Structure 1
Amino acid sequence: MACAALRAALRARGIAGLIASTPTRQKEEFHMTIAFIGLGAMGHNMAANLLRSGQPVHVWNRNPAPVQALAEKGAKPAASAAECGIADIVFTMLADDKATREVMIDGGVLDAMAPGSIHVNMATVSVAFAREMAALHQQKGIGYVAAPVLGRVDVAEAGKLNILAGGSDELIARVQPLFDLIGQKTWRFGNEPEQANAIKLACNLMLACAIEATGEGTALARAHGIPAESFIDLITNTLFAGSPVYKGYGGMIAQQRYSPPGFKLTLGQKDVRLAVEAGQGTNLPLAFGDALQGLFKEAVDHGDVDLDLAALGKNAARRGGLD
């Protein structure tokens, strides 16, 4: 369906009540509609916090259960992803490049968005895809901001995520009041959206390295008769005191607590692969990234696909016959 026809149909259904009378939004205007697409564990909590804005929040998800849960809190369910395209600001939190393409492009969301509206992509996607999306949005006169986040599900629920934002200052200023509802700080990384995605991939590469190192160190201690809890207590109070990564993931490894996943191992695998690809795009070899790809494959081959990223520690122990 053509963009104009789709928007007219949505107005007829009463969904676009607060859309501006002209397609171009005014910078100072904050009476705007919001949409959130992708209501997984992270997205559900982020969308719930956006309800505190007092503005209409339209929500859509492939699995309708999270939509209903948010509707009970005041969100407005959309019958399709494309219906969310009539909002002034569309947030997406989808699994990867493929899911984002299927929803935003193939699903008609971009076609339904008006010039002057903004798409905020909070997913961890590849640098190449971020560059492609930025160009496509520019062609359509739609603002595009990359805003991947740091933080697990409990942090998202508390509205304390760290937001890594890439895009023009003007666009980010327009969405900053909404960022303030879902995050404790917005970190600016360049005027090109892809720069924020590069930073997120760099962060997740280091995260995976830290977890693998913790897993291998713990396995070495256990192999010599030292309880895992004692080793983790040592490193989190000495070498890595104050680090939430070593304390949080180290505790999970010590307790062999890998489920339910807060950050699935397969998502970490995807992020490390994208980090290696981002390095290749600038002729930068990533030796740890290459090694981690093999370790992730090993964990997946052993059936750890539904476990938390902390299961890298399980895989390290398994290599030594400790599990």
Structure 2
Amino acid sequence: MQIGFVGLGSMGAAIAMNLVESGHEVQVFNRSPGRAEPLGKAGATVAASPAEAAHLVDVVFSMVADDAALTAVTLGENGILAGLRPGALHISLSTIGVDTAQALAALHLDAGVGFVSAPVFGRPDAAAARKLFIMAAGADEHLKVAVPLLEQLGQSVGIVGADPSQANLVKLIGNFMLSVIIETLGEACAVAGKAGIDPTHFVDLLTNANFNAPPYKIYGAMIASQQFQPAGFSLPLGQKDNRLMLAAAEALGVPLPLASLLHDRFLAVRSQGIGAEHDWSAVALCALTEAGMRKDARRP
């Protein structure tokens, strides 16, 4: 199949490479051209703009950081919509807000092209290993095209509904739940450490008992050791998703006390100079610092 791919960050590059290795003809674009070089060497065509990446393809994927980036690569004379032929399909893998997804779905409908939201759960290593968990939503006719491709990229594809924005809401809810796990682990390690229990041993004990699940194992090890680099999912992106979750809940009239707590935790840890080079699990440093258990108060 002829496929376009826009956005070659850590996640996007791994997913695009899997499409190339699956035998598809792939046209790729990234704002920083150097990110496209490995794909070009693997057989992909490097495009000069999102419109060129979308030109004459059956499907174009996008995987960018946030709402503003997706809007920028989709709209305008050099955007994805300008390049897509009528009847083609845009699959957005990005974690974006509900309002943005709804607006983009309407614009695609007006342009006569399909739009599917398919945000993913998983870190770059999972993307490379085709182990992502994918949430997809869109019209049935568009999902019939999207799902077989998505199944080549992950270990499961969950169908959320016909409204693309529903998939984005499910992804935001999932990230909210993960952020609560991170906060809980930070507080738990602070208590255990203050009592003289080695946090790494403590996490090993619990993740081999009732908490034997990947989020507890992955984030527990990072928090216990206070090693938050390299970032599998950066702190500013986690903060962004928390903000989008609160906005979606407010629009629905649903209070989220824990998300509000995490909002303040993100602000507090960012005020300490902890930024994009750190994993979002570094938000646990708030609990560790308050308990006097941070290894180095000057550096994470």
- TM-score normalised by length of structure 2: 0.95
**Corresponding residue for residue 114 of structure 2:** 143
1:73-112 counterparts in 2 under 5 A? Answer: 73-86=42-55, 87-106=57-76, 107-112=78-83
1:278 to 248, 254, 260: 248
| Equivalence for 2:90 | 119
**Count of equivalent residues:** 291
Larger mean CA deviation between 222-231 and 211-220 belongs to: 222-231
Distance 1:217 1:173 in 2: 45
Letter in 2 for 1:105: L
- C-alpha separation in 2, matches of 1:42 and 1:315: 28
Show structure 2 runs of 5+ residues with no match. 295-300
How far has the Cα of 1:168 moved from its partner?
1.3
Matches of 2:83 and 2:123, distance apart in 1: 32
Indicate yes or no: 2:268 matched with 1:309.
no
**Residue 25 (structure 2) pairs with residue 56 (structure 1):** yes
Q: Which residue of 2 aligns with 1:253?
A: 223
Counterpart of 2:95 in structure 1: which amino acid? T
What secondary structure, in the 3-state scheme, does the structure 2 residue paired with 1:185 have? Answer: strand
* Contact 2:5/2:28, CA 8 A, preserved across alignment: yes
Counterpart amino acid of 2:53? Answer: C
Alignment of 1:238 onto 2:238: no
* Larger Rg belongs to: 1
Shift of 1:59: 0.4
Q: Secondary structure at the match of 2:90?
A: strand
Distance 1:73 1:47 in 2: 10
User: Could you tell me how far 1:55 is from its partner in structure 2?
Assistant: 2.3
Amino acid at match of 1:266: P
Q: Please give the alpha-carbon distance, in whole angstroms, between the structure 1 residues aligned to 2:133 and 2:28.
A: 22
Code of the aligned partner of 1:139: D
Percent pairwise identity: 42
Preserved contact between residue 166 and residue 196 of structure 1 (Cα < 8 Å): yes
Moved more, 82-91 or 186-195: 82-91
Measure, in 1, the Cα distance between the counterparts of 2:145 and 2:73: 24
Q: Which of 171, 190, 202 lines up with 2:173 in the alignment?
A: 202
Structure-2 separation of matches of 1:56 and 1:85: 12
Asked whether the 8 Å contact 1:53–1:178 carries over to 2, the reply is no
**1:291 maps onto 2:291 in alignment:** no
Which sections of structure 1, spanning at least 5 residues, go unmatched? 1-31
Matches within 5 A, 1:257-268: 257-268=227-238
Secondary structure (helix, strand or coil) at the match of 1:245 reads helix
Please give the secondary structure, in 2, of the residue aligned with 1:58.
Answer: strand
After TM superposition, give the deviation of residue 96 of structure 1 in Å. 0.5
Aligned to 1:66: 35
Contact 2:59 2:91 in 1 (8 A): yes
How big is the shift at 1:102?
1.0
1:21 matched residue in structure 2: none
Q: Give 1:100 deviation, angstroms.
A: 0.6
Contact 2:6/2:29, CA 8 A, preserved across alignment = yes
1:189 counterpart residue number: 160
**Cα pair 1:52 1:181 within 8 Å, conserved:** no
Distance 1:216 1:98 in 2: 34
The match for 1:178 is 149
Task: Quote the Cα distance in structure 2 between the aligned partners of 1:230 and 1:311.
Answer: 19
Q: Which amino acid aligns with 2:42?
A: K
- Per-residue CA distance 1:199-251 (angstroms, 9 max, x = gap): 0000000000001100111011111211111210222122312x100011001
How far apart are residue 52 of structure 1 and its match? Answer: 2.8
Aligned to 2:123: 152
CA displacement 1:255-283 (0-9 Å, x = unmatched): 22100100111111111111111111111
Name the SS for the 1:62 alignment partner. coil
Runs of 4+ in structure 1 displaced over 3 angstroms?
Answer: none
Partner of 1:217: 188
- Counterpart in the other structure of 2:297: none
User: How far did 1:191 drift?
Assistant: 0.5
2:96 is matched by which residue type in structure 1? V
